[in-house]
Amino acid sequence: MAQKIQSVKGMNDLLPVEQKDFKLTAAFWQAFEDTVGRWTRAYGYQQIRTPIVEQTGLFVRSIGEETDVVGKEMYTFSDSNDSLSLSLRPEGTASCLRAVVEHNLLYNSPQKLWYMGPMFRRERPQKGRYRQFHQVGIEALGFEGPDIDAEIIAMSADLWEKLGIREYLTLEINSLGNREERAAHRAALVEYLTRYEAQLDEDSKRRLKTNPLRVLDTKNPDLQEICNAAPRLVDYLGEASQNHYARFKAMLDGLGIQYVENPRLVRGLDYYNQTVFEWTTDKLGAQATVCGGGRYDGLIEELGGKPAPSIGFAMGIERLLLLVSEYGSLEVNAAPDVYAMHQGEGADLQVMKYAQALRAQGFNVMQHSGYQSLKAQMKKADNSGARFALIVAQDELANGTVTLKDMKGKHEQQTVATADLTDTLQQWKNA
């Protein structure tokens, strides 16, 4: 036998059934997608779909060369026909904005957009952290806030409510101020951290040179004391930034949305300013952040568009659904309404016709394929989870009738005239 080929490490198959080390099924995922479709419509967002591959320069310019995502984790290759460097997208914001600028979508009105799809980061895989993972993201482009900042938080909280996981998530917020405020804070931070350079680990020493704000992000317990006493960005905010942040918080208060202010929340991508936030949970081990986002007021201009202040967030679908599958609620309806069985010559074709007629009336019908005993077919019907079984054997074929069985036993088995098939099933379904 030929050797089997395995899937790529950190990249999962979504199957109709649960796997040992990956519990999510395709039906569960699809139920989530349906919920997302209704949720985004309820808030007036329109879908955008962009390619999975982009020019590497897009991510370098937007996310930042010194970030882990761009510096260490991208899948980058050169197109064989020319020397253009391409990368699998590690996130959705950059691609979304590239498309918006390219197609001039902000020409005469702001945009509220959402997207969903696979992203790629070459991280060390573990539960909740994958190399191909999926995000749902929203981007509100051309809005200054702080009203939209609060609205998108309320929008996310609404989704957690719908999925039954609101109580397991904590909202953390911070303000990163504007560029000048960050520069002043950065100078003070570098001065402070340089005093402790000898005590820093290798990662932090590197970040001190490249992206000092990220030193504060360290998980190293030995550095917590140094980081806790470091100059705080929030103390460098000017009046306008403070005002934006205060109005944002007042709106959250007004909406009854609780939050924790975390002055060390800096996010892992370079494009943010002013409002940033994350929804975290203590139920997923180390992979605690389910959703993150914030303002990126300068990014559209950096990508060649006209200045347009904007904000957005993205959630990791795997992390979210792991949480939902364990603690939340999401109705999954993958079973057919009817399992259609047949026995004897000619019954296969007749059943096929009935099945088509029922589908035209809105029933989901799974037809038995192949030729087995009725007993074996009934077992399949049972396994399919179908609510009803439809049987055409020789008697039914001869008499122009159909036998119907309620798999939940709520109705007596009944043999009805073909003309009454749909009505009877409809009555049973509604009962």
Binding residues for ligand HAM, rule: CB under 6 A, are: 91-93, 121, 123, 129-130, 133, 135, 137, 139, 268-269, 289-294, 312-316, 318-319
- Minimum distance from residue 223 beta carbon to ligand HAM (Å): 22
* 226 or 317: CB nearest ligand HAM: 317
* 130 or 339: CB nearest ligand HAM: 130
* 21 or 82: CB nearest ligand HAM: 21
Task: List, in order, residues 6 or more apart from 161 with CB less than 8 Å away.
Answer: none
- Minimum distance from residue 341 beta carbon to ligand HAM (Å): 43
Using Cβ positions, the residue closest to ligand HAM within the complex turns out to be 316
- Minimum distance from residue 267 beta carbon to ligand HAM (Å): 6
Closest CA to 328 of 171, 161, 172: 161
- Minimum distance from residue 292 beta carbon to ligand HAM (Å): 4
Residues 41 and 49: their CA atoms lie apart, in Å, by 16
Collapsing DSSP to helix, strand or coil, 310 comes out as: strand
Cα 22 to the chain's mean position, in Å? 16
Residues 92 and 69: their CA atoms lie apart, in Å, by 13
* 122 or 380: CB nearest ligand HAM: 122
Closest CA to 118 of 317, 278, 297: 317
- Minimum distance from residue 262 beta carbon to ligand HAM (Å): 14
Closest CA to 141 of 222, 56, 49, 46: 46
Length of the chain: 431
* 252 or 314: CB nearest ligand HAM: 314
Helix, strand, coil content of the chain in percent (nearest 5): 40, 20, 35
- Minimum distance from residue 280 beta carbon to ligand HAM (Å): 9
* 14 or 190: CB nearest ligand HAM: 14
Angle between helix axes 347-360 and 421-430 (nearest 10 degrees) is: 50
* 64 or 294: CB nearest ligand HAM: 294
Name the residue type at position 361. Q
* Residue 242, token pair as written in the block: 């403070």
- Minimum distance from residue 119 beta carbon to ligand HAM (Å): 7
Per residue, what are the HEC states of 262-302? CCCCCCCCCCCEEEEEEEECCCCCCCCEEEEEEECCCHHHH
